[in-house]
């Protein structure tokens, strides 16, 4: 794994963790699109890697199916998991100081942005 890839995984993991702490989302909203668009993974590899990142405890059976088909990058999943953990703590600390109505609007904007990006990209 090169320095660029590690740095991108660090950013993706922290961003997903923070968004998880802020809005209760992360894997599907941040990690999967980021692995596809920033690191060139296929849809299945991104999904499998995202599931592997969340194995303890939620994704073990689903990740196993992706593993059987060869769609998990374990190095990526481990780095993402570490920084997702840290980012989740940071995000939850930050967002608990923001009024809920603002958080609700932020969440809606994030969902819309990701949906439009996925609809218009190839």
Distance CA 16, CA 22 (A): 10
Q: From first to last of the 122 residues of the chain, give the pLDDT tens digit.
A: 899 999 999 999 888 888 777 766 666 778 888 898 899 998 888 878 887 887 665 667 777 888 999 999 999 999 988 998 898 788 878 888 888 788 778 877 887 988 898 899 87
Q: What is the CA radius of gyration of the chain?
A: 14
Residue with tokens 């692995």: 35
Phi, psi torsion values for 114, nearest 5 degrees: -65, -40
- State the CB neighbour count (10 A cutoff) for residue 107: 16
Residue with tokens 């993991």: 13
The single-letter DSSP state of residue 42 is: -
- Residue 63 half-sphere exposure toward CB, CA atoms < 13 A: 17
**Tally of domains in the chain:** 1
Beta-carbon contacts of 15 under 8 Å, excluding residues fewer than 6 positions away, are 30, 34, 87
Give the domain range for residue 16: 3-120
Q: pTM of this prediction?
A: 0.60
CA 67 from centroid of its chain's CA atoms: 18
């Amino acid at each position: 794994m090169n320095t660029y890839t590690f740095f991108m995984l660090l950013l993706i993991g922290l961003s997903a963790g923070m968004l998880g702490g802020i809005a209760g989302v992360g894997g599907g909203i941040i990690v999967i699109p980021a692995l596809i668009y920033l690191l060139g993974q296929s849809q299945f590899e991104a999904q499998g890697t995202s599931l592997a990142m969340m194995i303890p405890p939620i994704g073990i059976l689903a990740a196993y199916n992706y593993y059987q088909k060869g769609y998990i990058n374990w190095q990526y999943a481990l780095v993402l998991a570490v920084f997702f953990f840290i980012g989740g703590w940071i995000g939850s600390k930050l967002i608990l100081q923001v009024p809920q109505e603002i958080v609700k609007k932020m969440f809606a904007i994030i969902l819309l942005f990701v949906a439009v990006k996925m609809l218009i990209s190839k």
